[in-house]
Amino acid sequence: MNSKSVDDQIRLKVGEFTCFLDGADIRELWIGGRRILSRLYIAVRDEAWNTVPYSCSEPEISMGLDGFDVRLRCAVDVPPIGAEWIVRIAATSEGEFEYAMDGRMSNSFRFAKLGLNLHHPLPESLGARYVARCGDETVTGRISSLIEPQFYVDEKLSGMFMPYEELDLEVSHSEKIAFHFSGDKFEMQDHRNWTDYNLKSYGTPQSVPVPLSAEPGQRIFQSVRIHCDAARSTLSHVPLATDVAIKVDRSRIVVLPCLGSEFPDEIATLDEQVADLIQGLELGFVRVNLDLTSEKAAEAGTASVEQVTALGCRVELALVLSPEEVRASEVARLQVWLERVRPHLERVVVLEGPRGYRIGRTATPGQKVRALRDVIESQCGPVAMVAGTEQHFAELNRAWPDLDGVDGVGYTICPQVHAADDASIMENSWGQADTVLTARARTGRRPVHIFSLALIGKFGPYPGGIPDVPVRTAYGDPRQYTTFAAAWTVSSLRQLIDAEAASATYFELAGDRGLVRPTTSPDSAGATGTDYVPGPVYRVLEVVTHWNGGNLVRVSRVEGSMIIGVGMEWSDRSEYLLANLEPVPRRVELSNLSGMLDEVSDIDPRDSSAPAEWVARARESVVQVSGQDSADFEIGPYGVVRLRSIL
């Protein structure tokens, strides 16, 4: 279920505490001017770690000068998982906040998690000193700007430090946030391993073996009390988003990653209409998966490579090998295939099969990459050889491969490993830069390649439950062909530009996860035909892939704003893309423009059955004073705007 917009959420306030109630979730918990949590919620995860949805009653809310008290009922009934619980949320004017769940299991079932999750916001948490206590044990340290690995030892995932019943985060010499937990021990995970933009405290440490077992009548109880010690001079009102002032930023040279897309595994032949649209994008490469574990699997990649070559695109060849030792039969199979197909390679990615999600996987060993270099270069000449994982950054970060003789590393990015709502997906776009920066720091600044960027992962785990499709089938998110996906893509591009990623593979060429979508409509004779239409993401990439020969610039943001952008400036003109990552319209003042505005356009429509097009606005919708370098205009909910100026 998507979260409500801020305008639809219930604002709760007493004393210095302010937060928003969204179903049973707390979003944006502040005390004065200090953000304590970006989210506090209950998660239910089945034994395969898929998130299971649950229902909530309407809240009963009591509010007064001394505090507020909220109660609501929740239930999950997704066989075999069944449970009910009551949520109580309370805060006092004296500075205490509490969230508690108390209930019972209804059925016998196995599960991975059922309990509280706290998202500690990154900007406020990085560099903070922590003190964790459990009984007589205490551990202290500081939260690193680089992503802390989540190790996998004895078939168990690790936390950042020992489990705790009490946690203090000292964000400055005069401010300390104290968390007191009941009902279970809690643990912290660096959520950036999955590109979530937060640190997470969660109940039931990973050292407890999963799956867990539930029995009818078994009690569920977890709670957290929060207190913030701060000098009153540091507290101010919670910032409320109104108009947004941003500017074009030319403070440092930035470079656009090489941009590509993926040839869908499930499509044998591209429709001619699709091929024409893709050719118009002028992508830097197209990724093709070549499974070397069998003759039949390898043959499936031949037609895909031939079609990519016909499009005039270079190939990012992703080779899938059997696990463990390099097999001579697979090396020989690759050599025969290369001799016959002779692909125009951008790079070669070496992956270990079998394809599919599995906890505890690691990146491709460097020896496997080195074992293939000679046979590839003998047929195709020198080419970059990349090691990595088809799963998430977490797998790479927990066990960095031997990179001697390896030219780069890579992984995939999906913003909804843990949550599927709009707000979380947009917020998690900010987690992408830290994965690249950490990878560059830990690999001697080797090039970092993002093998796949998509709203929903192909192999899991699934935040909305297991999809009713085969695991290998590329299925899509319902937001794929709306401006929501386009706005997320603009934010993603900005993060990867800032972090200096080498390449990025966005979505697939066509299909439910694609840039181009099939639609059906009756022809003049009344028969139903299939047309292929470009989606909003296609229009974003179409702009950016034609940014050549100029200076790439960023559109800076005010901290807390959800307006983001990038642009290209030439000697005679400029072009900028701005995205609104919120579900409400925002008035934007953009300054430091190069030249006078010539056109302002929006991607339209949001109807995914129609082709997305740039629609120019009426000039009176944009205010630009003659002779000034600023413009004032509105961006709609999850809108993407293109601005063009001339000198």
**pLDDT tens digits, 247-288:** 999 998 899 999 999 999 888 899 999 999 999 999 999 999
> How much is the average pLDDT of 597-602?
92
Predicted pLDDT of residue 90: 96
Q: What pLDDT digit, counting tens, does each position of 131-169 carry?
A: 999 999 999 999 999 999 998 888 788 899 999 999 999
Check whether residue 457 and residue 360 sit in a common domain: yes
Predicted pLDDT of residue 6: 52
The reply to whether 429 falls in a domain is yes
- In DSSP notation, 583-644 reads SS-EEEEEES-SSEEEEEEEEE---TTS--EEEEPPGGGSB--TT-S-EEEEE-TT-EEEEE
Given 504, 525, 544, the domain boundary residue is: 544
Of the listed ranges 1-15, 67-81, 234-248, 595-609, the one predicted with least confidence: 234-248
CATH number at residue 83: 2.70.98.10
Check whether residue 573 and residue 619 sit in a common domain: yes
Check whether residue 315 and residue 436 sit in a common domain: yes
The reply to whether 134 falls in a domain is yes
Do 17 and 11 contact (CB within 8 A), yes or no?
no
Q: Provide the domain count of the chain.
A: 3
pLDDT classification of 574: cutoffs 50, 70, 90: very high
CATH number at residue 423: 3.20.20.80
Check whether residue 54 and residue 190 sit in a common domain: yes
Predicted pLDDT of residue 471: 40
Check whether residue 98 and residue 22 sit in a common domain: yes
Check whether residue 519 and residue 591 sit in a common domain: no
Check whether residue 368 and residue 317 sit in a common domain: yes
The reply to whether 239 falls in a domain is no
The reply to whether 1 falls in a domain is no
Given 544, 570, 586, the domain boundary residue is: 544
CA distance 614 to 605: 9
Predicted pLDDT of residue 359: 76
Check whether residue 31 and residue 179 sit in a common domain: yes
Given 528, 544, 560, the domain boundary residue is: 544
Q: State yes or no: pLDDT of 232 exceeds 50.
A: no
Check whether residue 577 and residue 496 sit in a common domain: no
What sign does the CA torsion over 329, 334, 339, 341 have? positive
The reply to whether 115 falls in a domain is yes
Instruction: State the virtual CA torsion across 326, 327, 333, 338 in degrees, nearest 10.
Output: 10
The reply to whether 4 falls in a domain is no
In terms of pLDDT, which residue wins out, 7 or 529? 529
The reply to whether 2 falls in a domain is no
Do 84 and 106 contact (CB within 8 A), yes or no?
yes
Q: State yes or no: pLDDT of 39 exceeds 60.
A: yes
Model pTM?
0.92
The mean pLDDT value of the chain amounts to 89
What sign does the CA torsion over 581, 584, 585, 589 have? negative
Check whether residue 538 and residue 554 sit in a common domain: no
> How much is the average pLDDT of 352-360?
81
Residue 441: which domain range? 257-544
Burial 42-52 (b: 16+ CB within 10 A, else e): bbbbbbebbbb
Token pair listed for 351:
């992956």
Percentage of residues in the chain having pLDDT higher than 70: 92
CATH number at residue 608: 2.60.40.1180
Check whether residue 534 and residue 559 sit in a common domain: no
